[in-house]
Amino acid sequence: MNDFPPIGAAALDNLTPFFQNYCSNQHVPGCAFGVVFGGQVVYSAGVGALNPNGEQPADPAAVYRIASMTKSFTALAILMLRDEGKLRLEAPAADYAPELRRLVYPTRDSAPISVRQLLTMSAGWPEDNAWGDRQLWRSDEELAALLQPGVSFANPPGITFEYSNYAYMVLGRVITHVSGMGALDFINRRILQPLGMNDTVWNEADVDSRRLAKGYLWQEGEWVEEARLPSGGDVAAFGGLYSSVMDMARWIALQLSAWPARDEDDDGLVRRATLREMQQPWRLYTPSLPPPSIGRPAVAAAGGYGYGLSITCEGARAGGLLYMVAHGGGLPGYGSYMCWLPDYDLGLVALANTRYAPMRQAATTAIRQLVQQGVQPPRRIAPAAALESARADVNRLLQGWDDILADQLFADNFFLDESRVRWQAQMADLVAAHGALQAEGELQAENALRGSWKLVGASGWVQASLTLTPTVPPRVQELELESVLPPNPILSNALALLLELLAKPSQRAVNKLFAAERDPQPDRHTIYDRVRLVAVLCGECELGEILAGDGESWVRLRIAGAKAAVEAALSFDTNSRKFTSATFQQVR
């Protein structure tokens, strides 16, 4: 199905060759993928074949093992039971899974494992990917026998995240004990069937053999067919499902339907608030920094595990914040990944048929490319009426101070933090520097009670931002007014010389344009290295948007290159007419 909206059509069409190249490089026989937008599949395709001989081409209707992507279905089943009042997430898991009553904890002060800790993989059990996959066949009796001697702990409960298939096997037992029916039956009846996910099944025997993607292993230069692992009983709740791209698109559409929070009827499969709860990072991952890379923007990232889902947040709001919800799956013969961006109402799923196929990189790269190529802008955050009103009142104060208006607008802390006289003087100074100020563009809301906007004058502009209080009615507790002036002729001339330097870097030119710096600042040799790197990174470039600055002693601006863009922060000495510091950071 390729009925995508006209915007971004070329970017969507580029996905097929992208996945074709990726699968070829990764020795993946076949892959099917689909893009979800607005609750619909807007693009889907297959590359390669369901077997290495190419007898059956891969397509979005083919059925693959989705492995640990199953965990999100198990998590929703638990939350359904919670919403019905049949279990509590904070209760000891042993209340609902009697097999855990015999656990011997690693320390005498360990608290009992809760249901929530099983959901968030913080029960203290060790990472078990190598072992867990081979337990898929176990019956309920065999799982009970496995649990009978207890569980070995890597950490006390509730300390840290560690990926645990075992935790989701036990959640299968919780579903059975609480619901009165087998966990797999519960997920079938309460989730899969109502969503019309008819291709999503627990056993290979339930798949039309003509549509089954068989699993393979690339070994010693040839394809070896993998033996399929049967789904046993409740243990399969950690990774037993088979599914297709078209069915998984329904699942992604359900998750995206929860965003944004809104007033309309909430009569779907489950409450929208429950779906949003799944998609929050309840247990943070151990922080890590990506290795430095020339030619790639530095991106801050954080994340954690929700309920059967992984959440990452990367970038900066000014440069395009990406809040991504995702999960992968891998078993002998299969690898898969699903991811979606709630702020963009955009999702993608990719399924492949080789052992632990590394589809995470392919799927996340593809969805980032769709965002970067403008397939869909992010959803605008709606400001509260009080925030819009406060912006209008601040604009009025900048046109002329009014004590009565100020007393109505600002909270009781405001003039205690900085005096009324100083605020009057600051606003008067801004008007003197810029001329009469007029609001330009929309209010950019960070949330319903915090936002920023731009006021333009005859010379430069003011960047304004405010935060309202939690009171009723809300009042302004914080206000920031940042003056931005265009570079004066002296600084403009220095920037023109900087552009010439970037076109032809030399140590001599750096020495002319930059003052000798004192410790602990970098010396001019370091500046030269930075300039050369920017020149290589950007190629032919030009001065772009002024982002901040006082017009004479410092400026922050964008340098737009043929190959990349950077933000430059520069300090300038008006007496020597030289820059005293310079930092450059690549931006998206």
Instruction: Please write the tens of the pLDDT for every residue from 205-250.
Output: 999 999 999 999 989 888 899 998 999 999 999 999 999 999 999 9
Q: What average pLDDT does this structure show over 134-153?
A: 95
Query: Which tokens is 528 given?
Result: 């030269």
Query: Which tokens is 335 given?
Result: 């690898």
Q: What average pLDDT does this structure show over 86-95?
A: 98
Nearest 5°: the CA angle 282, 287, 288 is 140
Q: Contact 309/75 with Cβ under 8 angstroms?
A: yes
> What radius of gyration, in Å, describes the C-alpha atoms of the chain?
29
Nearest C-alpha neighbor of 295 from the set 501, 563, 569, 584: 563
Percent of the chain with pLDDT over 70: 94
Percent of the chain with pLDDT over 90: 85
Q: What does the alpha-carbon distance between residue 191 and residue 200 come to, in Å, rounded to a whole number? A: 11
Nearest C-alpha neighbor of 131 from the set 161, 109, 163: 163
Q: Contact 45/411 with Cβ under 8 angstroms?
A: no
Mean pLDDT of the chain: 92
Instruction: Please write the tens of the pLDDT for every residue from 145-204.
Output: 999 999 999 999 999 999 999 999 999 999 999 999 999 999 999 999 999 999 999 999
In this predicted structure, the answer to whether residue 434 has a pLDDT above a threshold of 90 is: yes
Give the pLDDT confidence score for residue 9 in this predicted structure.
77
Separation in Å, CA 150 to CA 98, 112, 121, 143, 162: 12, 13, 17, 12, 18
pLDDT confidence of 413, banded at 50, 70, 90? very high
Give the pLDDT confidence score for residue 523 in this predicted structure.
83
> Lowest-confidence range among 68-72, 291-295, 495-499, 561-565?
291-295
DSSP lists the bridge partners of residue 66 as none
Kindly give the pairing relationship between strand 450-456 and strand 283-284: unpaired
Per-residue exposure over 103-141, b if at least 16 CB sit within 10 Å of its own CB, e if not: bebeeeebebbbbbbbbbbbbbbeebeeebbebbebebe
Backbone angles phi, psi at 557, to 5 degrees: -145, 165
pLDDT confidence of 7, banded at 50, 70, 90? very low
SS (H, E, C) 472-527: CCCCEEEEEEEEEECCCHHHHHHHHHHHHHHHCCCHHHHHHHECCCCCCCCCHHHH
Query: Which tokens is 32 given?
Result: 């099917």
Q: What average pLDDT does this structure show over 559-583?
A: 93
In this predicted structure, the answer to whether residue 318 has a pLDDT above a threshold of 60 is: no
Query: Which tokens is 34 given?
Result: 């689909």
| DSSP track, 6-44 | STTHHHHHTHHHHHHHHHHHTT-SEEEEEEEETTEEEEE
Give the pLDDT confidence score for residue 316 in this predicted structure.
44
